[in-house]
Structure 1
Amino acid sequence: MIGSRLRLARTAADMSLRDLSAAIDGLVTAQAIGKYERDEAMPGSAVLSAMIRVLGVSRDYLMNADQLALEGVDFRKKPSSSRREEAQVQATLLHRVENYLMVEEILALESMVWDKPRHAPYPLHDIVEADQAAMQLREAWGLGRDPIPNLVELLEERGLKVVCEPLADSIDGMTAYIRRADGSTIPVIVVNALHWGERQRFTLAHELGHIIMMMGSGLGEAEIEKAAHRFAGAFLMPAEILWAEIGRHRTNVSLGELFSLKRLLGVSVQALTYRCKDLGIVGPTLFKRLFDEFKAQGWRSPPYAEPEPVPKEAAQRLSRLCFRAVQENMLSEGRAAEALGITVRELDRRMSVPWEAFRAHV
């Protein structure tokens, strides 16, 4: 039966039942499509082919009986995000991860095992304990106190799946767990591909905090978000680096210093300033003076862009696996393009030019 997969593909395409009916030239009514999604009926071959064409999925995808379940969904969003936008993100996520697992299976690869540290999730009863959690994770993964040049690659090496998708501006990202048919779970982080690099990196670290920390029952929703923010700051900007580069206490800091650290750590100057405040490097007076300057420069207003943007993060492992499978004639170009959410023409271009040559256009 195709019900849940058809509903998932339709939601990912941001189409209502009526939209889909119209897109297939009224071959069947919206009510009939609703019956397909409830597994009360099966479409004929002509209708099935039309829906596959409109929704941009393969016949194998719709007919595959294996199901993935989405659990523990947690969005990082603005209040303006709609339920429809959130549903579309969830549908797209399931589609992307399923394709990811399909490519791994074709290549006879074991799906990367989530490298959860032995003592994780780290219990958190106070926001400041997020610093300790970040340092424990760095130690467990052998990161020392060095900057993290490519956060997506690190997370995927540790068994998380990272999905970079164009999302509504009201949604920064989300975390979830994918439960497979065998009962095993895979943690997944979704990040907005339209955001600039420093914002993506902070979102990734923030969502990692939600996965790696166990929030105490005494923490409210606002405090939980602050704790995840603090974790992200500590994970990307270890205190030892800032103490060595900027000192333990400052009465004034130049924008030149902040932008130099931005290039080193891959974070915004605003996130750097917050981190310096958390560590007591800058006091309330200097903090306010700096943020007044950021506001005057226009960096505190949408789209919150700063000079010298950090290069965007991108999930490259799936691309590498798709390129490999296509070159070994184990996967068609059409299926590989579907797995990556791009056109066959774009797939051909990416396979024929260096990564940096097309990354600038993403």
Structure 2
Amino acid sequence: MIGQRLKVARSAVGLSLRDLEKKINSRVTAQAIGKYERNESMPSSGVLIALADALGVTEDYLLGEQTMALDGVEFRKKSLASKKEEAQLEARALHLLERYLLIEEMLNISPEWDRPRGAPFPIVNDTGEAERAARSVRDAWDLGMDPIPNLVELFEERGLKVLSVELTNIDGLTATVRRPGKAPLPVIAVNKTAWSERKRFTLAHELGHMVLAVAHGLDEERACNRFAGALLMPAEALWAEVGKHRTSISLGELARLKELFGVSLQAIAYRCKDLGIFDQATLTRLFKIFTQRGWRRPPFEEIGALDPKLEEPRRLERLCFRALAEGAISESKTAEILGISVRQLNRLMDTPEAA
């Protein structure tokens, strides 16, 4: 039965039942598609092909068995986010994850989540305890106090699945992938179109939600922000660069710090305030400058913007290339998993920068 697969594929591309009816040129009605999704009837072979084409999947995908689900889904969203957007993101994540785990199975790879020792770390008195939690994560993962050059690569090495999808009013998602007979895996989805500085902070923030146990009554978002700042900018590393007390700092110096730690000027300013390097007056003066320069409004184009490709997940692509080279998968299946055409795949394989 194709019900669950069809619904996930439709939600993933953001189509309503009536939208899908129109996209298949009304071969069947929206009501009939609804019956397919409820497993009350099955489409004919011709309708199945039309549905698959309209949704950008194969007939085999629609006929396959749904074997995984997302548990504990949490969204980082703006107030404008709708239930439809949430459902679309959840469906996209599930759709991408299924492809991701399929290629790992083909290559006989089964990484496990390397949960940091001691996690979840209790935050029971104040958000400052998130500082110690971030240090514990760095210790558990042998990161030392150096800046982290690429969070996506680090997370995926530790068994976290990181997805990049285009979002509008949602910054990110955290969830756990549940599969029959296998250990659950954590997943983070981030906004593909966000600037890299924001992606890095969102990734660190979402890890906070996974490894912190924030007591009732404390602000969990604030605790995760403090955790993210401490993970990306360890106190000792920041003190070594700027000292322990400052009453002023130039934009040029902030830009060098941004290049070093891979975070926004605003994140650096907040971090300095958290550590007592800046007082409130210094922070206020800086944010007045940020506002005047337009850096606190979309598209947040601060000086020294990081490479937009910096935090793009590439592991799935690498695994697909490996499977293709080893003959474990066909070109058409590889293209399907990566969500591109065979022509685009061939260009990517021959001239990577052209893709």
Compute the TM-score of the two structures, normalised by the length of structure 1. 0.94
CA drift at 1:77? 1.1
Query: In 2, distance between residues paired with 1:272 and 1:309?
Result: 14
Bigger mean CA offset, 300-309 vs 82-91: 300-309
Task: In structure 1, list runs of 5 or more residues that go unmatched.
Answer: none
Other structure's SS at 1:304 match: coil
Query: In 2, distance between residues paired with 1:28 and 1:300?
Result: 48
Partner in structure 2 of residue 135 of structure 1: 135
Maintained 8 Å contact 2:174/2:186: yes
Query: In 2, distance between residues paired with 1:32 and 1:310?
Result: 48
Q: Which letter maps to 2:238? A: L
CA drift at 1:317? 0.8
Deviations 1:304-323 (A, max 9, x none): 22121112311111000011
Query: In 1, distance between residues paired with 2:273 and 2:343?
Result: 48
Maintained 8 Å contact 2:2/2:62: yes
CA drift at 1:183? 5.2
Partner in structure 1 of residue 212 of structure 2: 213
Partner in structure 2 of residue 325 of structure 1: 323
Maintained 8 Å contact 1:103/1:321: yes
Query: In 2, distance between residues paired with 1:347 and 1:165?
Result: 19
Query: In 2, distance between residues paired with 1:343 and 1:239?
Result: 47
Partner in structure 2 of residue 201 of structure 1: 200
State the Cα RMSD in Å: 1.3
CA drift at 1:66? 4.1
CA drift at 1:39? 0.9
Partner in structure 2 of residue 192 of structure 1: 191
Of the candidates 285, 295, 308, which is equivalent to residue 281 of structure 2?
A: 285
Query: In 2, distance between residues paired with 1:266 and 1:258?
Result: 11
Other structure's SS at 1:49 match: helix
Compute the TM-score of the two structures, normalised by the length of structure 2. 0.96
Maintained 8 Å contact 2:171/2:191: yes
Partner in structure 1 of residue 153 of structure 2: 153
Q: 1:330 to 1:225 in 2, by over 3 A?
A: same
Query: In 1, distance between residues paired with 2:281 and 2:21?
Result: 61
Partner in structure 1 of residue 234 of structure 2: 238
Maintained 8 Å contact 2:27/2:47: yes
Maintained 8 Å contact 1:17/1:30: yes
Query: In 1, distance between residues paired with 2:175 and 2:118?
Result: 20
Q: Which letter maps to 2:200? A: R
Maintained 8 Å contact 2:10/2:16: yes
Query: In 2, distance between residues paired with 1:346 and 1:282?
Result: 50
Partner in structure 2 of residue 352 of structure 1: 350
Maintained 8 Å contact 1:66/1:181: no
Query: In 2, distance between residues paired with 1:54 and 1:236?
Result: 42
Query: In 1, distance between residues paired with 2:150 and 2:179?
Result: 28
Paired residue total: 352
CA drift at 1:23? 1.3
Query: In 2, distance between residues paired with 1:154 and 1:248?
Result: 29
Task: Verify: 1:339 aligned to 2:324, yes or no.
Answer: no
Task: In structure 2, list runs of 5 or more residues that go unmatched.
Answer: none
Q: Which letter maps to 2:279? A: G
Q: Give the alignment of 1:302-317 within 5 angstroms.
A: 302-312=298-308, 313-317=311-315
Partner in structure 2 of residue 109 of structure 1: 109
Partner in structure 2 of residue 68 of structure 1: 68
